[in-house]
Amino acid sequence: MFPRAYEPIETHLQPNKALVIYGPRRVGKTTLLQTFLKQTHLKYKLDSGDNIRTRQILSSQDFGQILACVEGYELLAVDDAQNIPNIGIGLKIIVD
């Protein structure tokens, strides 16, 4: 495991804000996320933009469906979120 300049990731988390981790392929974004999730005390849900059901829900713009998906969690982590159409609108619904 290589140390990264943006660790610890929890220093970048803010309530009611989305945190986007981006960069070129194969630089450790998923590893960074998984390492953080293993040690966090937050109740979290990890989803993938590669999962068709996750894509359907988060791109639906259906408030009820999106909020039901994240209800009860303090943190939603979505790996490969770029695969979700209109992910920005889905995240806005969650954050708002």
Query: Residue ranges of the domains in the chain?
Result: 9-16+25-95
pLDDT tens digits, 34-50: 999 999 999 999 999 99
pLDDT digits (tens, 9 = 90+) for 49-79: 999 999 999 999 999 999 999 999 999 999 9
pLDDT at 3 (0 to 100): 65
Q: With contact defined as beta carbons under 8 Å apart, do 31 and 62 qualify?
A: no
Listed in sequence order, the residues at least 6 apart from 55 whose beta carbon sits closer than 8 Å to its beta carbon are: 49, 83, 84, 85
Please report the DSSP string for 60-80 in residue order: S--HHHHHHHHTT-SEEEEET
Task: Kindly tell me if the per-residue pLDDT of 27 is higher than 90.
Answer: no
Residue 60's pLDDT is 95
Q: Where are the beta strands (DSSP E) in 16-95?
A: 44-48, 75-79
Residue 30 three-state SS: helix
Q: Judge if pTM exceeds 0.75.
A: yes
Q: Which residues pair with 77 in a beta bridge?
A: 46
